[in-house]
Amino acid sequence: MEENKKELKRKAKEQAKKLRRMSPMTTALLLFLALLLAAVLFILISLGMIGRADSDRIDPAMEDFEVDTDGPDTVDPKDVEWAQVEPLNDEDLINILLVGQDRRPGEGRQRSDSMIVVSMNQETKEISMVSFLRDLYVRIPGYTDNRLNASYAFGGFELLKDTLLANFGVHVDACFEVDFNGFESVIDAVGGVDVELTAAEARIVGVSEGKNHLDGEHALKYARIRKLDSDFGRTGRQRNVLMSVFETARKSNLPTLISLAKALIPQLTTDQSSVQILSLVANGFMILRGGHGIDSYYVPADNAYYNATIRGMMVLVPNLQMIRGSMEDYLPLNATTK
C-alpha cells in the first residue's frame, strides 16, 4: 500500500515537470481550446432550450373551416381551377420559413397568424423576404381546400411546407415559429428598431408620425395593427420590423448579438437540430455581412387573385401560374436558374 502511494506521488511529480516544460505557445493553445470547448458547450446547451416542432397531423375528418359569413357563397369549390406548379430549384438558395402565432397561454398549435419566407442566396449574398397571406385559398395535401393558415393547425411545419411547395413551388429548408408574446424581448435585445410610421399608424401605436425608434412594446403594437387597412398592410408592417431587426443585427457588435440570441432562443420552436441551426447561423451571418439590402414582397400580388366566399370563408383565390412566375423575381435565384 505504501509502495503504491510512493508510485502515485512519483508519477504526479513527473507530470508536473512535463507541464512546467510546456512552451508559452502550447499553454496558450490549450487555453484557447478549453475556451472554445466551453463556448461550444454553452451554445449547444442554449440551443437545447429551443422548442422542437410537433408535426402530428389531425385526422382529416376533424378539419374545420373558419366561417366568416352565413350568407351565400359566391364561388362553388368545384369551380376553382388549380394549375400544376413546378418547384423552384436553386442549390444556392436557403429558404427559411418564419411562422408567427398569436395564441393564448396554455393553447396548443393554432392557425398561423403570419408566414414569411426569408430566402438567402449563398453565392450572390442577396436576401428577399416574402409574406404569404393567411387567407389565401389553397390546396392542402391530404385535406380539403382551405385557407393557407389552416395547414399549420392541421399538420404543423411539415404540412405547411408541403402546402407551399404544392401551390407556389417554394421548397422550404428550415422552419422557425415565434410566439408574439416573446416578440417584445427580442426587439428590446437589439436596442429597438427604426420604423417609418404614417399618421394613422402613429396614433394607434402612441408615437409621432414619421421615423421612430420603437422599443419592443411599441414595435409589437405596430406589427399587430389590423383595423387600419387589410392583411396586406399588416404583413407589410411585419416585414418592416423584421427588416429593421436584420439591419440592426448586421451592424451589431458581438455583445449585442449574444443578447439577441439569449432573448430569441427561448421564444423559438423549430424543425431543425442544434447542428443544423449552427450551420444556418454560420451561413446566414456570412450572407448578412455581404452588405446587400433586403427585398420585400407579398403573395398574392394585386393582380394575381380574386376575392370570393367559399364554404362561408372570405378568401383570396390565387392565380397560381401567375404567382409561380412572380416567385422567380421575388426569390434571389441565380440568373441561370430563372
Task: Provide CB contacts within 8 A for 318, sequence distance 6+.
Answer: 136, 137, 138, 167, 299, 300, 304, 305
Per-residue model confidence (pLDDT) at position 169: 96
User: Which span out of 110-119, 175-184, 220-229, 272-281 was modeled with the highest average pLDDT?
Assistant: 110-119
For residue 175, what is the domain's CATH number?
A: 3.40.630.190
Number of residues in the chain: 338
Residue 57 within a domain: no
**Does the pLDDT value for residue 64 go beyond 50?**
yes
169 close to 320: Cβ distance less than 8 angstroms = no
Of residues 26 and 263, which shows the higher confidence score? 263
Q: What is the pLDDT of residues 35-46, one digit of tens each?
A: 545 555 556 566
| 233 in Cβ contact with 131 (< 8 Å) | no
Distance from C-alpha of 313 to C-alpha of 6, rounded to nearest angstrom: 86
In a domain, 64, yes or no: no
Residues 144 and 186 in one domain: yes
Residue 48 has pLDDT above 80, yes or no: no
Are residues 210 and 135 part of one domain? yes
pTM value is 0.83
SS3 136: strand
The answer to whether residues 139 and 166 touch, using CB atoms and an 8 Å cutoff, is yes
Instruction: Note whether 6 and 95 are same-domain residues.
Output: no
Say whether both 280 and 196 belong to one domain: yes
pLDDT at 129: 92
φ/ψ of residue 80, rounded to 5 = -75, 130
Asked whether residue 215 falls in the same domain as residue 316, the answer is yes
How far apart are alpha carbons 298 and 129 in whole angstroms?
Answer: 8
Amino acid present at 120? M
Whether 26 and 133 map to the same domain: the answer is no
C-alpha cell at 148: 393557407
- Do residues 98 and 163 both lie within one domain? yes
Identify which of 23-32, 46-55, 230-239 has the greatest average pLDDT.
Answer: 230-239
Question: How does residue 79 score in pLDDT terms, banded at 50, 70 and 90?
Answer: very high
- 140 and 10, same structural domain? no
Rounded to whole angstroms, the maximal C-alpha distance in the chain is: 97
Question: Which residue shows C-alpha cell 451561413?
Answer: 283
Do 214 and 267 belong to one domain? yes
173 within domain boundaries: yes
**Least confident range of 102-106, 148-152, 198-202, 276-280:** 102-106
**pLDDT tens by residue, 141-152:** 999 999 999 999
For 218, the grid coordinates are: 411599441
Q: Grid coordinates in use for 207?
A: 408615437
Instruction: Find where cell 412594446 sits.
Output: 217
Q: Strand 127-132 relative to strand 294-299: parallel, antiparallel, unpaired?
A: parallel
Residue 208 lies in a domain: yes
227 occurs within a structural domain: yes
Looking at the structure, tell me whether residues 99 and 170 fall in a common domain. Answer: yes
Q: What was the pLDDT predicted at 203?
A: 94
| Residue type at position 176 | F
Q: Which residues contact 183 (CB under 8 A, 6 or more apart)?
A: 216, 219, 220, 223, 267
Whole-number Å distance between alpha carbons of 144 and 154: 11
- What is the percent of the chain where pLDDT is above 90? 46
Whether the predicted pLDDT of 88 surpasses 80: yes
30 and 87, same domain (yes or no): no
Q: What is the pLDDT of residue 200?
A: 94
Q: Range of 226's domain?
A: 48-52+69-330
User: What integer best gives the mean pLDDT of the chain?
Assistant: 84
Above 50 in pLDDT, residue 19? no
The number of domains in the chain is 2
Domain identity same for 17 and 102: no
Query: C-alpha distances in angstroms, 82 versus 64, 139, 143, 179, 321?
Result: 21, 8, 15, 33, 9
User: Does residue 297 fall inside a structural domain?
Assistant: yes
Cα–Cα distance measured from residue 131 to residue 113, given in angstroms and rounded to the nearest whole number: 11
Radius of gyration of the chain (CA): 25
What is the predicted pLDDT for the residue at 50?
79
Q: Which of 23-32, 78-87, 280-289 has the highest mean pLDDT?
A: 78-87
Residue 240 in any domain: the answer is: yes
Answer whether residue 189 shows pLDDT above 90.
no
Q: Tell whether 63 is covered by a domain.
A: no
